[in-house]
Amino acid sequence: MVVSLVAGLLVGLFWASRPEWVADMRLWRAVGDTAFVLLTVTLALGPAAKLSVAAGRLLPWRRQLGVWAALAASLHALLVINGWARWDLGRLFGFEYIPQLGYVARWEPGFGLANAIGLVAVGWLLLLAVTSTDRALRRLGPAAWKWLHSGAYTVFHLSVLHSAYFLFLHYAPSFHAGVPSPNWFRLPLVALGVVVLVLQAVAFASLVRRRAARMAGV
């Protein structure tokens, strides 16, 4: 309940921060940004717990944060597919009928690839959410379960690529005229991505250093 309330609050804050956008775009972007924030916190907790006892106390929240990140990401994808693409896969992947040309054309470079990356990330995230249970852990076994869930960082990297395209490239003036001002979430996205990468690197270095110290002691 706590995590669901936090997720709802984030959606509301993201929604309120972009009053100049049309309602449907505001909604799916608010839900997508919420999914990204929840996923970032989920993945940051693991390496942070190796560096801080205080962060380690938050580890029990990681499963629920990940599940709600998956739910928000799935809702984001559904809103886009239903509300914008209208279940037209061609349009979703960047192909649309251009009346001036008289045929279907790819109307923007990178758009289809960015959406394909997003769909792969959502599918993988759903698989992780479905197996985020004690029963799944018992059925798969600790080694297989851990191997499967190590893919969460791949999902994060895919999510960064998907989001970065729409934040930095899709609405560039060369592609669209009269679009809203640049999305304010640009710098926060970069910062969140860097935080996760730095935490991973520092936690890895700390692990190697402790192992070397133990070996030296032996």
106 bridge partner residues: 95
Q: pLDDT tens digits for 60-70?
A: 999 999 999 99
- The CATH number of whichever domain residue 28 belongs to comes to 1.20.120
Q: Predicted confidence band at 89 (pLDDT cuts at 50, 70, 90)? A: confident
State the pLDDT confidence band at 175, using cuts at 50, 70 and 90: very low
CB atoms inside a 10 Å sphere around CB 148: 15
- pTM value surpassing 0.85: yes
User: Rounded to whole angstroms, how far apart are CA atoms 211 and 200?
Assistant: 17
Chain mean position to CA 145: 21
Domain membership of residue 196 as a residue range: 2-217
pLDDT of residue 61: 93
**Contacts of 26 by beta carbon, 8 Å cutoff, 6+ apart:** 15, 18, 19
Going by DSSP bridges, is the β-strand pair 103-106/95-98 parallel, antiparallel, or unpaired?
antiparallel
Give the span between the Cα atoms of 168 and 166, in whole angstroms. 6
pLDDT above 50: residue 51 = yes
pLDDT (tens digit, 9 = 90+) per residue, 101-130?
565 666 677 888 999 999 999 999 999 999
How far apart CA 84 and CA 91 sit, in angstroms, is 9
pLDDT in tens, 136-165: 999 999 999 999 998 999 999 999 999 999
**Could you report the per-residue pLDDT of 5-41, keeping only the tens digit for each?**
999 999 999 999 998 888 988 999 999 999 999 999 9
The per-residue pLDDT for 213 is 82
Q: How confident is the model at residue 126, as a pLDDT?
A: 95
Q: How many domains does the chain have?
A: 1
CB 44 within 8 A of CB 211: no
Render pLDDT for 179-197 as a digit per residue (tens, 0 to 9).
Answer: 556 789 999 999 999 999 9
Q: Which of 110, 130, 22, 135 is nearest to 66 (CA)?
A: 130
Q: Write down the pLDDT at residue 100.
A: 63
Q: Which of 128, 193, 126, 132 is nearest to 162 (CA)?
A: 193
